Chain A
Amino acid sequence: MTQTLHPQVETLMRRFSRELAQISPSDDLDARIGALVAGNRPARQIIPTRRSRQLPRWAAAAAVAAFAIILGVFIGVKLERNAQQQATAADATHEPAWLPADFSMWPADSVALQIPAEYSSSGTLVAVDPKAKATGKRYWIDVIVSNDGTLRIEKVVPAEATKNQNEGSRDGITLQTQ
Chain B
Amino acid sequence: MRRTGEAAYKMRTAGDDSEHMARLAAGDPSALRELYQRHGRALLRFSSAMCRSRQAAEDLVHDTFVALLREPNLFDPAQGNVFGYLCGVLRHRVSRHFRHERRLVALEVDDEGAHQQVSPGDSPADEIARSEMTRAFRRAILELPPQHREVIALCDLEELPYATVANILNCPVGTVRSRLHRARALLTLRLASLELVELSDESLRAQEGLS
A3 at the interface (CB under 8 A from B): yes
A108 to B17, CA, bound (A): 110
Structural contact, A20 and B48, CB atoms closer than 8 A: yes
> Given A12-B137, A15-B137, A25–B184 Cβ distance below 8 Å?
no
B61 cross-chain contacts in A, Cβ below 8 A:
25, 29
- Bitwise interface map of B from 58 to 71 toward A, beta carbon under 8 Å scored 1, else 0: 11011101100100
State the Cβ distance, A25 to closest chain B Cβ, in Å.
6
Q: Output the least CB separation between B5 and chain A (Å).
A: 9
A88 at the interface (CB under 8 A from B): no
The residue in chain B whose Cβ has the minimal distance to the Cβ of A14 is: B1
Given contacts A15-B130, A19-B134, A36-B65, contact A3 B115 (CB under 8 A): no
User: Is B156 positioned at the interface, with any CB of A under 8 Å from its CB?
Assistant: yes
Residue of A nearest to B66 (CB): A42
Q: At the interface, is chain B mostly helix, strand, loop or mixed?
A: helix
The reply to whether B30 and A12 form a contact with Cβ atoms under 8 Å apart is no
- Tell yes or no: A23 within 8 A of B by CB: yes
A51 interface residue per 8 A CB criterion: yes
A105 at the interface (CB under 8 A from B): no
State whether A20 touches B177 (Cβ < 8 A).
no
The answer to whether the Cβ of B185 comes within 8 Å of any Cβ in the partner chain is: yes
Is A80 close to B, CB under 8 A? Answer: no
Distance in Å: Cβ of B34 to nearest Cβ of chain A: 9
By the criterion CB–CB under 8 Å, are A51 and B100 in contact?
yes
Closest chain B residue to A7 by CB distance? B197
Q: How many residues of B contact A (CB 8 A)?
A: 52
**Count of interface residues, chain A, beta-carbon cutoff 8 Å:** 36
Residues from chain A with Cβ under 8 Å of B184 in the complex: 2-3, 5, 9
Between-chain CB contacts (< 8 Å), 20 pairs: A1-B174, A3-B185, A6-B197, A6-B203, A9-B184, A10-B1, A13-B137, A13-B156, A15-B133, A15-B137, A16-B138, A18-B117, A23-B115, A26-B58, A28-B58, A33-B40, A37-B30, A37-B32, A39-B29, A44-B62
Least Cβ–Cβ distance between B105 and chain A, in angstroms: 13
**A16→B131 CA distance, assembly (Å):** 10
Min CB distance A5 to B, Å, is: 6
The answer on a CB contact under 8 Å between A19 and B116 is yes
Mark out the residues of chain B between 171 and 201 whose CB falls within 8 Å of any chain A CB in the assembled complex. 174, 177-178, 180-181, 184-185, 187-188, 191, 196-199
